[in-house]
Amino acid sequence: MFTIDEYHKTIGDKIANLDVAILVLNAGIGLNGAFYEFNDSHIQALMQINANQVCYLSKVVLPQLVKRFEEKKVKSAVLMTSSIAAEIPLSGMTIYSATKVFVNFLADGLFIEHRNKIDIMSYTAGFVITKLTADWKREVDYETITAKRAAEICFRDLG
């Protein structure tokens, strides 16, 4: 999916009648290397998955969450996963880090827009054991947690 309209048709229309309480936007791919050396398709895919899909799906689902609050006076939540890479410029991860800065800023702005109606947060994790980190992070240590632990932290901090 590459347009907001495609997100509406593919996802929005299918969930329009559901009572959505939590939207979790947790997708990401990484590229490691010099920015100028990446081929265009890799950068486009990274931007689409790490930034655009977060923005587009938020755009499609937020009206439904606002309506839920207005009709039922029940808050919903949006959880966007980010990365510590958004806080620390890392050589070889410039484009990945930039997309995570975008996610953080989007979450912060939407939180302000929808304060008292929808809980919106960006979870800025350090290292989480996932497919993305499998080549170099496989065990829990002082800087690494499991995906299960990351989920527990997110739900603890909502609300």
Active site residues: 96
Collapsing DSSP to helix, strand or coil, 117 comes out as coil
User: Among residues 101, 93, 17, 106, which one has the least CA distance to residue 57?
Assistant: 106
Burial of residue 143, with CB atoms counted within 10 A of its CB: 0-12 exposed, 13-18 middle, 19 or more buried: exposed
79 phi and psi angles, rounded to 5 deg:
-120, 120
